[in-house]
């Protein structure tokens, strides 16, 4: 065997930088039959009413699941249980320096925008605030693999698009979107191109900074141009930028989303779409400043899933921002709509089409 072959095998085993990916529990196959909807009760932040100090329904994730259960769309034993991302998992993207900074409660208070958190001992902050966010982050990473295996996956949480490898902000402490994509690039053969479709009301400056010069990642971002974060440097990473005015309504919004989702996917066919489906575009949202109706949000998700399905591109959806009390109901309605239209069902599976684990769980429940 020539020396170059030995090097090739070595690189194949250990990666081009000669570093073997760390062991992780996030890529273990879930027990069958599970549907690719990822959630854990640990997502919800509830602690001495602190969560009420942020204009954020910090229990929205559990409410989405309860609505879906009421509608008989899912049951507890069919949900994929999210696992907490470990430090090793987080270090795939984050710097040790950044993770160490989260050991200071005042830093976490700034990132989460809950000032009293600054006065809590850090072990409490870790358990009550950061653990839920780490579990949601684990959920996004898990959903990335599920999406590739089964054609689609939804993490009921996640979508922390303001956090980059060494900086958090805007309630985002971990860069779950960057992590999910880097895990796929590192560990799943055949995944080498990703498209992020970020339709939260805010600019997704976290993943934009992380993928600034990475030509494997195509970023489309539609956001209110006047609100947080207004990150001019990060905007340079956006391939398809759609800046909206205050109070943009359904007709204009949906037309722009449709045109640019089609345009983005025609320009580059990725191996995975990460869809950041923030619902803070909703009319009356105090932070988003847009005026989209609940039906408009349901239609928007439909537009994105239809575009992905027609091209047979795996899609991972995360729920991101959306801070009003009625948000959970709208997310649940949208997932129901995707199901009713056959956009999230076994037929959608691409490489996982033959995988019996997915196996028409919806039909199973409905019978």
Stretch that binds Zn ion, among 23-31, 247-255, 259-267, 272-280 (CB under 5 A): 272-280
- φ, ψ (nearest 5 deg) of residue 292: -90, 140
Residue from 221, 280, 301, 345 binding Zn ion (CB under 5 A):
280
Compare residues 200 and 221 and give the one whose CB is closer to Zn ion.
200
Total number of residues binding Zn ion (CB under 5 A)? 6
> At closest approach, how far in Å is the CB of 321 from Zn ion?
3
Q: For residue 229, is the peptide bond before it cis, meaning its omega torsion is within 30 degrees of 0?
A: yes
318 or 348: whose CB is closer to Zn ion? Answer: 318
Phi, psi of 326 (to 5 degrees): -85, 0
Considering 162, 202, 207, 260, which one is annotated as catalytic? Answer: 162
CB of 168 to Zn ion, least distance (A): 14
Q: Does 278 bind Zn ion (CB under 5 A)?
A: yes
Q: Site residues for Zn ion, window 320-359 (CB under 5 A)?
A: 321
Q: Which of 68, 4, 37, 86 is nearest to 331 (CA)?
A: 68
Nearest-approach distance from CB 281 to Zn ion, in angstroms? 8
Whole-number Å distance between alpha carbons of 339 and 219: 27
Residue 312 neighbours by CB under 8 Å, 6+ apart: 151, 350
Residue 202 sits in the site that holds Zn ion (CB under 5 A): yes
Instruction: Tell me the two tokens of residue 46.
Output: 């509830």
User: Which residues ranging from 296 to 325 are in contact with Zn ion (CB under 5 A)?
Assistant: 321
Is 36 among the residues that bind Zn ion (CB under 5 A)?
no
Of 10-18, 52-60, 136-144, 193-201, the window that binds Zn ion (rule: CB under 5 A) is: 193-201
Distance between CA atoms of 346 and 89, rounded to whole angstroms?
30
Tell me if 150 contacts Zn ion by CB under 5 A.
Answer: no
Q: Kindly give the pairing relationship between strand 152-155 and strand 217-224.
A: unpaired
> Buried b vs exposed e over 220-236: b needs ≥16 C-beta within 10 Å?
bbbbbeebebebeebbe
- 215 noted as active-site residue: no
200 near Zn ion, rule: CB under 5 A: yes
Residues involved in catalysis: 162
Chain contacts with Zn ion (rule: CB under 5 A)? 200-202, 278, 280, 321
């Amino acid at each position: 065997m020539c020396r170059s072959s030995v090097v090739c095998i070595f690189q194949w085993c250990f990666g081009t930088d000669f570093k073997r990916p760390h062991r992780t529990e996030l890529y273990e196959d879930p027990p069958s039959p599970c549907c690719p909807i990822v959630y854990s009760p640990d997502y919800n932040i509830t602690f001495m009413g602190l969560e009420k100090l942020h204009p954020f329904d910090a229990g929205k994730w559990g409410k989405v699941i309860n609505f879906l259960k009421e509608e008989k769309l899912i049951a507890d034993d069919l949900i994929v249980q999210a696992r907490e991302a470990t430090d090793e998992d987080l270090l795939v993207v984050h710097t040790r320096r950044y993770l160490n900074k989260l050991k200071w409660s005042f830093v976490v208070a700034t990132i989460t925008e809950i000032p009293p958190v600054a006065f809590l001992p850090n072990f409490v902050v870790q358990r009550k605030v950061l653990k839920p966010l780490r579990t949601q982050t684990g959920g996004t990473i898990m959903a990335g693999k599920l999406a590739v295996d089964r054609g689609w996956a939804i993490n009921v949480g996640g979508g922390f698009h303001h956090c980059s490898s060494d900086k958090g902000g805007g309630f985002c402490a971990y860069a779950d979107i960057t992590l999910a994509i880097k895990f796929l690039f590192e560990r799943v053969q055949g995944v080498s191109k990703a498209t992020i479709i970020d339709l939260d009301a805010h600019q997704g400056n976290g993943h934009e900074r992380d993928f600034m010069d990475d030509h494997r990642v195509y970023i489309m971002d539609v956001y209110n141009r006047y609100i947080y974060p207004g990150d001019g440097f990060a905007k340079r990473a956006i391939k398809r930028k759609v800046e909206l005015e205050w109070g943009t309504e359904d007709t204009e919004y949906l037309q722009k989303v449709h045109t640019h989702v089609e345009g983005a996917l025609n320009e580059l066919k990725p191996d995975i779409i990460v869809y950041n489906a923030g619902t803070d575009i909703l009319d009356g949202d105090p932070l988003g400043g847009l005026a989209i109706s609940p039906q408009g949000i349901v239609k928007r998700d439909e537009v994105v899933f239809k575009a992905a399905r027609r091209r047979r591109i795996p899609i991972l959806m995360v729920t991101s921002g959306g801070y009003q009390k009625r948000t959970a109901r709208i997310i649940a309605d949208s997932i129901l709509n995707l199901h009713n239209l056959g956009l999230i069902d076994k037929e959608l599976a691409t490489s996982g089409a033959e995988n019996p684990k997915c196996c028409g769980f919806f039909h199973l429940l409905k019978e």
